[in-house]
Structure 1
Amino acid sequence: MRRKGIFVMLSMVLMGTVFIGACSNDNTPQPSTSTSTEPTKAPRGKISATIYERGDVPKEEGSKTENRWTKWINENGPVDVTFVSVPRWESAQKLNTLFASDSAPDLIAEYDSVIKNQLYAQKQLMPLDDVIDKYSTVYKETLQTYPKLRQLGIQDDGKLYGIGKVSEVVPQHILYIRTDWLKKLNLQKPTTLDEFFAVARAFAENDPDGNGKKTLTESI
């Protein structure tokens, strides 16, 4: 049927060309019959998505669902997004309410595996394997580069239900070592875990600050 449709369209174009050519042989000026029309743009899609509410949006910036960034996404993205606010620490209650009222959003961002497993057990989630294979432009390659992402998103039926991201490891704590204490005890800066524990023990037991008391390791 697709070939037939294309053939009919081409036939109509050829007929129109012959018609215009025949008219041009007449010496009498003929009005132009050509028209220019702009290509019809495909209608924008629509999607609803959760967004965590953490109470961190200043009043002058709007709300979690209506602010300069949500507007930017809708002005520059490929679809219109309706954001649904979900309290960060009460997401289970909020999502259960949304599903119970048949108003759950299309896309849910959630970290808690308990909630995700509950939604899967209730058959509330759609498998994403075919969708990613057919429509993905980036994530399909990401899954090939980081196969662990697929493993983390698969449920016991062997299908993929979650989309993840690869994040760099950022240290959450920093330890500072007092170089004046190292110098006082004639120690070198530790480079291994064993050396670190040895320095910590020396700081705690050998009175590096000279107050005559043992130093707590928490002060390192």
Structure 2
Amino acid sequence: MNKKKYGKAAVLNVLIASQLLLAACSSDSEKASSESQKYDPSSKLEVSWMAMLHTPSAPTDVVLDKIEEATNADIQFNWVPAASQEERMTAALASGELTDIVSLNLLSNSSIRQSLKSGMFWEVEKYLDDYDNLKEITEETRAAASIEGKLYGVPFQKDIARSGLLFRKDWLDNLGLKPPATLDEVYEVARAFTEDDPDGNGKDDTVGFGDRNELKYGSFKTLSSYFGTPNGWAVDENGKFTAEFETQAYKDTMEYSRKLYKNGYLDKDFAVTPKNDQMDKFAQGRTGIFTGLVGLTGLMNLAEGIQNEMEIIPVNKIKGPDGEYHIWSEDSGIGGLLAFPKSEVKTEAELKRVLQFVNDLMDKEVFMLMTGGIEGKHYEFDENGAYKILDNDAWQQDVQPFASSRPSDQKHQLKEADPNKQLMKEQIKENAEFAVFDPTFPLESPTASERGTELEKLIIDATIKYIMGEMDEKQFDEEVEKWKKSGGDSMRTEYEEAYKKAEK
């Protein structure tokens, strides 16, 4: 970790240490109460789970039955489509209509943070070391997933930086192009994929960049990190904070995206396109660039039977104007929390049994069920020990939806038989070397907790309008001023004060 990419490493260590100290503080009476309640880990568990669905449809019961058998549980999933998770989760938290386990993936959402801080969910830090898998969650991960030193669920453990660009390699080959290495080369590929008939069908029916109706997981956030934009906020040596959209690099990204859009190299419908439709367009051969390295497998599966000639190459290193690599880190590798509402999990004994269930999800057997399905039916290992899906249709229907609910993507590593899929995994690991972290992630701001999501939407809307040519730079700056007066400056002050305290 160098200072240029991560800020003050020493300060980050202090932040982590201070959070751990707070999280460890509990009274002797609480500890005695904890030890007095017993649970039977062998008892059959009936558990409900509000989980995110990143696929068009929920899974069949084929693999679910095996997961239930391996975990000694009857599982009732309440699937929430990822495209509407923010609205659905906010409504569920407000109404109190929750399940035994709730997947809270958006920890920066104001409503979610407020609910966690309100005492609605169990604190779990003191229990984790009682379980063989959960105890392996590092102190750094626990601290990063905590809010004001309290861990309100089991962290989803993800890779530090999973973003990058996916290109149609067969289209690159058809046009005699190499995978791009600079932003100018990315732009040229987007142009060629739009104007030069990359699929050779003689029709004007392709677009370079496919995209969707969000900045963070669409193309903008990744492109902005290539330009050198801070990840959320930047903090200087004097502890002063600057929001990412107050920087020239952010504006340069807006101008780059605006040019792509104006010339038709960025999907004209991106502002109203959800993730699944973005994936479908790519799989159908209508677009040739996709943002997010982890999307490779899903896109290849969707394309089967439609674009069998499709080849995808992942690219993680795009040089910015400074000649260096930068990629944003998603919440420091924390994909959210598996949280347990006290309204549903009413006693400590019940909590311990549910934690045993989450612990069991991390066993190799269950990990493989949620990743590959049933060996011999959905996947196999070849003679080199590499993992290969046997039946894509069955895998998509029976297995794929479970993957995003695995508590850890890191505990068990699989070698992919497909060289491009293996390259994608290696690039995601390599991203950690030049990841850019959000310095506010371990800090607390009351204004951000109360109104951060609302304020963020103001900037998102302004950015999209600028890209689409519906707003000029002066109007964008006016929206930034509105953000400042509506609470942005208060957030800045609160983050600076929290940062200063952590330094001491």
TM-score relative to the length of structure 2: 0.24
**Higher fraction of strand:** 2
Select the structure of larger CA radius of gyration: 1
The answer to which structure, 1 or 2, has the higher relative contact order (CA under 8 A, 6+ apart) is: 2
**Higher fraction of helix:** 2
